[in-house]
C-alpha cells in the first residue's frame, strides 16, 4: 500500500474497490451454502464471492506497480518501513484483540476484562496471528516478506529485465502454477474417481519449492503488477479494455464452477474468496481489472472521494475488523441476507473506517499507526 508522490486515480479506485471487497468478505451475513439451500439466489451470492477473491491480490499487484516503478530506492527509508510493518502488526494485534475481547466476552468488571484478555488463547493469537481477532493481519506479514526481497527485485527490475522475467516465471511456476496443477488434478479426480481428492493446497515441489509458507501468490502478483505497470501503454487501448471485460466474466465463472465442484467433492462449502487468492482465475481477474480501469481519471466529487478512500486503504484495513465487529452487534439481529444490503453494510463500515483513519492520519505521532 505504499505510494509514490505521483497519484494515479485508477490505482486508488482499485484500492478502494479491493478494501470494500475485504470488508464484505469479513462481515457478510448472506448465505453461500448452496448445498443446504439449492436456491438460485444462493448461487448468485457464491458467484459474488468469487468476484471478491481479487481483493487481497489486488493490493499486492498495486504495491508492485508502484514500488517497482519508483525512480529510485531509499534503502534507509525502506529498512525503516520494514520495521514499521512489524510494529503495525504488534500494535494492531493488541488493539484488535483488546477491542474484540471486550465486545465478545462481555466482561462484568475491569478485573474480569483483563482476566479474559490475558488468556493463553489470546497470547497465542497475538504471536501467531491465527485467532479470529487478528488473523486479518496476515497480509502485513506477507507484505513484510516481499519487502525483505524488494531491494534486490527493484535493482534487477531496473537494470536487467531478462533476469527479472526469469524470476517472475519461476515464481509463477512454483506458486500459481503449483496451485493450478493441483486444481487440474482435483477436477480430474472429481469426474473420474469415486473418492474425491483435494489437491488445491498440495505442494508438488515439496522441499524444492522455495516459496512454501510465504504466501507466494502475493509475490507473484507483486512482480506482475510491476511489469504490467511498466508496459501499461501497450495495454491501455480501448480494444484491450473491451476484451478484458468478457475475459473477467469467463474467468470468474470458471472460479465459480471450480468452487462448486470443490464444495461438492469435499462435502462442505469451499471458500471461493480466500481459496481463490492463489488461483490462476483470480490472477487473470486482477490483470483484467487493471486493464479496465487503466488511465481512468476522476472528475466528479464522488470519484475524488473514492480516490481518497483508496489513499487511506491501509488504515481502513487495520481499523475495519474491530469496527465491523462492533457494528455487527447492531446489524446481525436484522438477519440481512441480501447481497445488496450486505454491500451497503460494507460501505458503512468502509466510510466510518475511512473517517477514523483520515483523522488519525492527520494527527501528529498517531498517524504512524495507519501508514507505512
What value does the mean pLDDT of the chain take? 90
Q: What is residue 79's predicted lDDT score, i.e. its pLDDT?
A: 95
Task: Evaluate if residue 332 carries a pLDDT over 70.
Answer: no
Rounded Cα distance, 179 and 280, in Å: 8
Across 96-105, 125-134, 164-173, least confident range: 125-134
| Backbone φ, ψ for residue 161 (5° rounding) | -65, -30
Q: What is residue 83's predicted lDDT score, i.e. its pLDDT?
A: 93
Task: Evaluate if residue 370 carries a pLDDT over 80.
Answer: yes
Task: Evaluate if residue 333 carries a pLDDT over 60.
Answer: no
**DSSP code, position 54:** T
Q: Which residues touch 360 (CB under 8 Å, ≥6 apart)?
A: 315, 366, 367, 369, 370
Task: Evaluate if residue 5 carries a pLDDT over 70.
Answer: no
Task: Evaluate if residue 153 carries a pLDDT over 50.
Answer: yes
Q: What is residue 125's predicted lDDT score, i.e. its pLDDT?
A: 73
Calculate mean pLDDT across residues 315-332.
Answer: 86
**DSSP code, position 200:** T
Q: What is residue 365's predicted lDDT score, i.e. its pLDDT?
A: 87
Q: Which residues touch 141 (CB under 8 Å, ≥6 apart)?
A: 89, 129, 215
Calculate mean pLDDT across residues 194-200.
Answer: 88
Neighbours of 294 (CB within 10 A): 21
Q: What is residue 195's predicted lDDT score, i.e. its pLDDT?
A: 81
Task: Evaluate if residue 224 carries a pLDDT over 60.
Answer: yes
- State what percent of residues in the chain have pLDDT above 90: 68
Task: Evaluate if residue 22 carries a pLDDT over 90.
Answer: yes
Q: What is residue 2's predicted lDDT score, i.e. its pLDDT?
A: 44
Across 122-131, 204-213, 215-224, least confident range: 122-131
Q: Where does residue 240 rank: exposed (0-12), middle (13-18), buried (19+ CB within 10 A)?
A: middle
Q: What is the pLDDT of residues 343-360, one digit of tens each?
A: 999 999 999 999 999 999
Across 181-185, 278-282, 299-303, least confident range: 299-303
pTM of the full structure: 0.92
Q: C-alpha cell of 164?
A: 527479472
Q: What is residue 219's predicted lDDT score, i.e. its pLDDT?
A: 96
Calculate mean pLDDT across residues 306-324.
Answer: 94
Calculate mean pLDDT across residues 244-255.
Answer: 97
Q: What is the pLDDT of residues 164-181, one digit of tens each?
A: 999 999 999 999 999 999
Q: What is residue 4's predicted lDDT score, i.e. its pLDDT?
A: 43
Neighbours of 281 (CB within 10 A): 26
Which band of pLDDT confidence, cut at 50, 70 and 90, is reported for residue 129? low
Q: What is residue 80's predicted lDDT score, i.e. its pLDDT?
A: 94
Which band of pLDDT confidence, cut at 50, 70 and 90, is reported for residue 29? confident
Q: What is residue 1's predicted lDDT score, i.e. its pLDDT?
A: 45
Calculate mean pLDDT across residues 281-295.
Answer: 96
Per DSSP, the residues of 206-221 read GGG-TTTTTTHHHHHH
Rounded Cα distance, 146 and 57, in Å: 13
Q: C-alpha cell of 129?
A: 496471528
Calculate mean pLDDT across residues 106-130.
Answer: 77
Rounded Cα distance, 332 and 372, in Å: 34
Amino acid at each position: 500500500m505504499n505510494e509514490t508522490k505521483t497519484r494515479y486515480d485508477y490505482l486508488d479506485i482499485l484500492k478502494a474497490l479491493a478494501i470494500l471487497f475485504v470488508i464484505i468478505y469479513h462481515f457478510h451475513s448472506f448465505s453461500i451454502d448452496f448445498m443446504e439451500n439449492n436456491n438460485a439466489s444462493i448461487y448468485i451470492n457464491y458467484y459474488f464471492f468469487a468476484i471478491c477473491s481479487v481483493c487481497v491480490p489486488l493490493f499486492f499487484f498495486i504495491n508492485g506497480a508502484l514500488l517497482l516503478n519508483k525512480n529510485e530506492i531509499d534503502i534507509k527509508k525502506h529498512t525503516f518501513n520494514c520495521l514499521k510493518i512489524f510494529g503495525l502488526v504488534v500494535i494492531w494485534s493488541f488493539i484488535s484483540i483488546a477491542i474484540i475481547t471486550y465486545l465478545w466476552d462481555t466482561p462484568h468488571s475491569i478485573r474480569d476484562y483483563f482476566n479474559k484478555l490475558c488468556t493463553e488463547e489470546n497470547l497465542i493469537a497475538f504471536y501467531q496471528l491465527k485467532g479470529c481477532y487478528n488473523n486479518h493481519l496476515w497480509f502485513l506479514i506477507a507484505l513484510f516478506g516481499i519487502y525483505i526481497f524488494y531491494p534486490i527485485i527493484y535493482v534487477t527490475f531496473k537494470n536487467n529485465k531478462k533476469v527479472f522475467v526469469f524470476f517472475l516465471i519461476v515464481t509463477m511456476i512454483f506458486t500459481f502454477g503449483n496451485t493450478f496443477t493441483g486444481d487440474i488434478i482435483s477436477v480430474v479426480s472429481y469426474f473420474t474417481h469415486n473418492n474425491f481428492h483435494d489437491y488445491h493446497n498440495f505442494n508438488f515441489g515439496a522441499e524444492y519449492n522455495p516459496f512454501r509458507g510465504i504466501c507466494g501468490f502475493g509475490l507473484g502478483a507483486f512482480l506482475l503488477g510491476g511489469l504490467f505497470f511498466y508496459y501499461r501503454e501497450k495495454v491501455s487501448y480501448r480494444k484491450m479494455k473491451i476484451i478484458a471485460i468478457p475475459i473477467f466474466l469467463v474467468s470468474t465463472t470458471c472460479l465459480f464452477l471450480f468452487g462448486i465442484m470443490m464444495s461438492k467433492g469435499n462435502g462442505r462449502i469451499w471458500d471461493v474468496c480466500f481459496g481463490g487468492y492463489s488461483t490462476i482465475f483470480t490472477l487473470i481477474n486482477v490483470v483484467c481489472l487493471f486493464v479496465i480501469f487503466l488511465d481512468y481519471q476522476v472528475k466528479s466529487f464522488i470519484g475524488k472521494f473514492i480516490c481518497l478512500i483508496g489513499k487511506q486503504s491501509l488504515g481502513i484495513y487495520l481499523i475495519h475488523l474491530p469496527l465491523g465487529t462492533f457494528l455487527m452487534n447492531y446489524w446481525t439481529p436484522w438477519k440481512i441476507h441480501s447481497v445488496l444490503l450486505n454491500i451497503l453494510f460494507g460501505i458503512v463500515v468502509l466510510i466510518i473506517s475511512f473517517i477514523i483513519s483520515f483523522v488519525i492520519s492527520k494527527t501528529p505521532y498517531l498517524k504512524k499507526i495507519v501508514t507505512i
